[in-house]
Every structure is written in structure tokens, then in C-alpha cells.
């Protein structure tokens, strides 16, 4: 793999993991809010 391709891959990889982390946190937050309001 060339250096350029490696850099592109690592940028895509870190962006993906950030997006996954953000959606997990957001999902948990929405779930907690919904269960909080249902009581």
C-alpha cells in the first residue's frame, strides 16, 4: 500500500469510528430519555 493510500485509509477509518461512537452515544441518550419519560 502506498503512503497516500494508507493516509486516506486511516482518515476514513477514524471518521467511521467517530461516527459509530457518536451514534452509539446518541442512541443511548435517546433511549434513556424515552424510558425516563415513560415512567
Whole-angstrom distance, CA of residue 6 vs CA of residue 29: 34
Angle at 22 between CA 11 and CA 9, to 5 degrees: 15
* Residue 9 pLDDT exceeds 60: yes
pLDDT score recorded for residue 38: 65
Give residue 18's pLDDT band: very low, low, confident or very high (50, 70, 90).
Answer: very high
| Residue 27, SS3 per DSSP | helix
Task: State pTM to two decimals.
Answer: 0.56
Q: How confident is the model at residue 39 (pLDDT cuts 50, 70, 90)?
A: low
The answer, yes or no, to whether residue 11 has pLDDT greater than 80, is: yes
Instruction: Flag whether pLDDT at 1 surpasses 70.
Output: no
Place of cell 425516563: 36
Cell 469510528 belongs to which residue? 17
Amino acid at each position: 500500500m502506498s503512503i497516500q493510500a494508507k493516509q486516506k485509509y486511516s482518515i476514513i477509518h477514524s471518521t467511521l469510528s467517530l461516527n459509530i461512537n457518536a451514534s452509539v452515544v446518541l442512541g443511548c441518550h435517546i433511549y434513556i430519555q424515552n424510558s425516563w419519560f415513560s415512567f
